[in-house]
Amino acid sequence: MRSGAAAGTLGYYHETGFYSSERELLDLAGPFLQDGLDAGEPTIVSFAPHNAATIRAAFGPDAGIQYVPGADQYARPASAIASYQRLFGDLVAQGASQIRVIGDVPHPGTGSSWQQWLRYEAAINQAFDGFPIWGVCPYDLRVTPDEVVEDVLATHPHLTTADGHVDNAACTTSSTLLGRRVRDRYEPHPMQSSGPQVVLHEPAPDITRRVALDVAQRAGLADEHIDEVVIISSELVTNALLHGAPPRVLEMWAEPARVLIAVTDAGPGPVDPLASLVGPDHQAPGGGRGLWITNQLATEIALDQRDDAFTIRALIAG
């Protein structure tokens, strides 16, 4: 049996809430966590260090809360989804009828780009719906930009307030509206303020791999990240060849310990800007594996969908 506001829900009860002080965070998170512990439910905290320390101080070291470091869990959206799915699957297999999880989702106020995490917040409504999850995504109004608050309200079906838990009328399930929000949140990367060091027109995958290897080595990346640059460049070019339209252009920028890749074609891009976060579509032509692999490996992903062109940009750093 599920407990609390999620009682009677079959799948994912996705909730947000807002706070402006440490006290308000505890007022929001404390009852949620304590009720889960009292009900014997797996209770998970995936906060950034300061908020995690606040919860630890309030509950003590032996409360039974499972802590997942936020910096690890939220390194990139696609890997966050995959690791949560594994964790939730394990807990359900062990007999959990409800799992409570609360975590900090990155955004510009915490130093992260927002478009990819907006895609995450929208995608997990489907990605986690096969599990009995009650998830709360709290946002600190002291550092959260207004446009992020708007997007958070658009992607969370439920809202926790001082008066209790309510359905969120501002949430939308329209893929068209969500796609428009994703497009509106695209911003050029600072590395793009100068011209690219590499421009290839109608690039072939084999040439792309050779060029990418040279660029990554000259940027001084570690071996594992050099491999990521080569793989991502090849996958994005292959994706443009399979699903895009000419003209196709590969651009690359390099700075010490980081490489930025952008592939543009004249096609419309993916119909669903969220799909590549969840996993490849093995029934679709080409399987959708290129964008999924890219989302698993890249430090940061951004999509720019316009009427006459689609660009996917990937940052690899380390």
pLDDT digits (tens, 9 = 90+) for 72-106: 999 999 999 999 999 999 999 999 999 999 999 99
Pick from 10-19, 22-31, 281-290: least confident? 281-290
Return the amino acid letter for 77: P
Pick from 31-35, 49-53, 58-62, 135-139: least confident? 58-62
Q: How far apart are CA 263 and CA 252, in angstroms?
A: 9
Return the amino acid letter for 156: H
**Ranges of each domain in the chain:** 4-183, 190-317
Q: Which CATH number fits domain 190-317: 3.40.1440.10, 3.20.20.105, 3.60.20.10, 3.30.565.10?
A: 3.30.565.10
Question: Cβ neighbours of residue 150 under 8 Å, at least 6 residues apart?
Answer: none
Does 4-183 carry CATH code 3.40.50.300? yes
User: What value does the mean pLDDT of the chain take?
Assistant: 94
When pLDDT is cut at 50, 70 and 90, the band that residue 282 belongs to is very low
Least Cα distance to 89 among 50, 136, 125, 42 occurs for 42
Average pLDDT (292-313) is 94
When pLDDT is cut at 50, 70 and 90, the band that residue 317 belongs to is very high
Tell me the pairing of strands 13-19 and 164-167.
unpaired
Least Cα distance to 114 among 217, 43, 33, 185 occurs for 185
Average pLDDT (103-128) is 96
Distance, C-alpha 170 to centroid of its chain: 21
- Check pLDDT > 90 for residue 286: no
Domains 4-183 and 190-317 share a fold: no
- Check pLDDT > 60 for residue 284: no
Q: How far apart are CA 17 and CA 136, in angstroms?
A: 7
- Cβ pair 304, 313 in contact under 8 A: yes
Taking only the tens place, the pLDDT of each residue in 175-206 is 888 889 999 999 999 999 999 999 999 999 99
Tell me the pairing of strands 13-19 and 133-140.
parallel
